[in-house]
Amino acid sequence: MHRGRPTHARGSALAIVIGLSMTACTGADPGEPQHSAKSRVDGPPPASWCVSGTPSASTTAGKPHRGALHDDFNGDGYSDVAFPVPHGDLSRGKSRRKPGYVAVVYGSSHGLRISSKQIFDQDKPGVPGVGEPGDYYGSSVTTADLDQDGYADLIVGSRENSADEAYGNGGVEDGELRRYHWQGSLSVVWGGRHGLSRSVTLPSRAGSHDGVGSLIVAGDFDGDGAPDVATQVRGGDLRVLSGPFGQDGTPAGGVHDVKGPRKAGMKDLATGDVNGDGITDLVSVGETETGSMRRGDVVYWKGTPDGLAAGVALSGIHGPQDAGHAVAVGDANGDGYADIVTNAFFEFVARDSGAGGSGVEEDEYARKYRLPHLKSGAVVYLPGGKSGPDLEKMTMLNQDSPGVPGVAHKDSGADEEGGTEYFGAGVSVGDIDGDGYADVSVGIPAKDVGGADGAGSVLALRGTAHGLTAEGAQLLTQDTRDVPGVAQGADAFGAATKIVDVDGDGRADLLAGGEVAPDGTPHGARGGVWVFPSTACGVTPKGSIVIGPSTLGAPEQFDSALGADFNS
Query: What's the rounded Cα separation, in Å, for the pair 548 and 85?
Result: 13
pLDDT computed for residue 40 by the predictor:
52
Buried/exposed 392-405: b ≥16 CB within 10 Å, e otherwise: eebebbbbebeebb
Query: What's the rounded Cα separation, in Å, for the pair 478 and 76?
Result: 33
Residue 370 class from Cβ within 10 Å (0-12 exposed, 13-18 middle, 19+ buried)? exposed
What is the residue-wise DSSP string for 419-440? ----TTSSEEEE-SSSSSS-EE
Give just the sign of the alpha carbon dihedral 556, 559, 562, 567. negative
Residue-wise pLDDT tens digits, 302-360: 999 999 999 998 877 766 556 778 999 999 999 999 999 998 876 544 444 444 444 45
Query: What's the rounded Cα separation, in Å, for the pair 156 and 213?
Result: 7
pLDDT computed for residue 147 by the predictor:
97
Compute the 3-state secondary structure of the chain and give helix, strand, coil in percent, each to the nearest 5.
5, 35, 60
pLDDT computed for residue 171 by the predictor:
47
Query: What's the rounded Cα separation, in Å, for the pair 455 and 470?
Result: 22
Residue 58 class from Cβ within 10 Å (0-12 exposed, 13-18 middle, 19+ buried)? exposed
What is the pLDDT tens value at each position of the chain, 568 positions in all?
Answer: 544 333 333 333 333 222 323 333 333 333 344 443 444 555 678 889 986 444 544 444 556 655 679 999 999 999 999 998 888 887 765 556 678 889 999 999 999 999 999 999 888 888 888 777 778 899 999 999 999 999 999 999 988 766 544 444 444 455 554 455 678 899 999 999 999 999 999 999 887 778 899 999 999 999 999 999 999 998 889 999 999 999 999 999 999 999 998 666 789 999 999 999 999 999 999 877 666 666 678 999 999 999 999 999 887 776 655 677 899 999 999 999 999 999 887 654 444 444 444 445 556 655 665 555 566 788 999 999 999 999 999 998 988 889 999 887 765 444 334 456 888 888 999 999 999 999 999 999 988 888 888 889 999 999 999 999 999 999 999 999 999 888 888 888 999 999 999 999 999 999 999 875 544 444 445 678 999 999 999 999 999 998 876 676 667 666 666 677 899 8
Contacts of 325 (CB under 8 A, 6+ apart): 2, 4, 5, 6, 267, 268, 285, 343, 345, 425
Give just the sign of the alpha carbon dihedral 135, 136, 139, 143. positive
pLDDT computed for residue 88 by the predictor:
80
Q: Which of left, alpha, beta for 208 (phi over 0: left; psi -120 to 50: alpha)?
A: beta
| Phi, psi for residue 353 in degrees, rounded to 5 | -65, -25
Give the CA angle between residues 136, 141, 143 to the nearest 5°: 155
Output the furthest CA–CA distance in the chain (Å, rounded). 74
Q: Which residue type, as a one-letter code, is found at position 467?
A: G
pLDDT computed for residue 320 by the predictor:
58
Query: What's the rounded Cα separation, in Å, for the pair 335 and 169?
Result: 56
Closest of 140, 162, 147, 151 to residue 249, by C-alpha: 147
Contact 535, 551 (CB under 8 A): no
Length of the chain: 568
pLDDT computed for residue 306 by the predictor:
97
Contact 355, 389 (CB under 8 A): no
Hey, how many other C-beta atoms are within 10 angstroms of the C-beta on 320?
16
pLDDT computed for residue 360 by the predictor:
54
H or E stretch at 185? strand 185-190
